[in-house]
Amino acid sequence: QRGAGGEKIPIEFVYLVEDLNKPLSLPDGSINKICCSLVLSYLKEPLLCARELMRVLRPGGQLVVTSLKPYPDLSQIYRNFISHAETEQDVLEARRLLSNAGQIRRKEGEGHYNFYSEKELTAFLVAIGGEKVKAHRSFGNQANVAVASKPPKARSGARR
């Protein structure tokens, strides 16, 4: 990443271990950007987690969330993976992926997971106060990605 003058800007990452079904231990507005990839679908309280992510995001910061689309065809991903396999290990990993995909689909049908459409992810981010929400397909057309900005702080003297 480069600054306006072309100078290199170091990118910093923070990895935390948290129970995402509970409030986060981070202060309000303490994180610049958050990527929550393929997580919300597996939580008991996904809206609580999304609200917490928005709470800890700084004003003007960006939140990215992803989800498999409802009832994805993961065999398509398998076929793509196999077409690029270069070693027997690659093929074995692709077979494991397909096996796991079958289990994920079965559990989705049983109600263990809730995968979100582009429209649902957009509504999710709007519901937690996100602005400039954009969603699109990814991962071989089998997943959805949505991005939202946290509104900037209200100007002093502004009406509420």
Give me 87's structure tokens: 């070693």
Reported pTM:
0.75
Helix 46-56, helix 118-127: angle, nearest 10? 60
> pLDDT tens digits, residue range 37-60?
999 998 988 999 999 999 999 999
> pLDDT tens digits, residue range 104-157?
777 777 777 888 999 999 999 999 999 999 999 987 788 899 999 999 975 444
96-104 own/partner pairs: CB under 8 Å, 24+ apart: 98/74, 101/72, 101/74, 101/75, 101/77, 102/74, 104/68, 104/74
- Pick from 140, 45, 15, 21: which is nearest to 84 by CA? 140
